[in-house]
Amino acid sequence: MSVTGVVIFAVVFFLLSLSLLTRHRSPVIGVLTALFGLIALGGAWYAWMETKSGPWTLGYAAVAAVALASALRQFMDGRDSKPQP
């Protein structure tokens, strides 16, 4: 992977992680992160089946897990677990 690919990967991973921490919910972001997660999951499968590369497989799987968790969080109703007074 080129340096440009690594930079794009790092920026996208940072933005997906950031969307896990914000309170703002958006269905558009949820759909986009779900699609990105599925693409990353396909990348993990390909990395394992073609090259048997453990580090690349784990990297893609980590991105897929963060993306799918972020997508799931975007569709949650946003209620806090603490009761309101």
pTM score: 0.69
pLDDT tens per residue across span 22-70: 777 878 778 888 888 898 899 899 989 988 888 889 988 988 998 888 8
Q: What is the pLDDT of residue 61?
A: 92
pLDDT tens per residue across span 3-17: 887 787 777 777 777
How large is the greatest C-alpha to C-alpha distance in the chain, in angstroms?
Answer: 56
Angle at 31 between CA 18 and CA 74, to 5 degrees: 50
Confidence of residue 75 (pLDDT cuts 50, 70, 90): confident
How do the domains of the chain map onto residue ranges? 26-76
Q: What is the pLDDT of residue 84?
A: 56
User: Residue 16's closest CA among 72, 82, 64, 70?
Assistant: 70
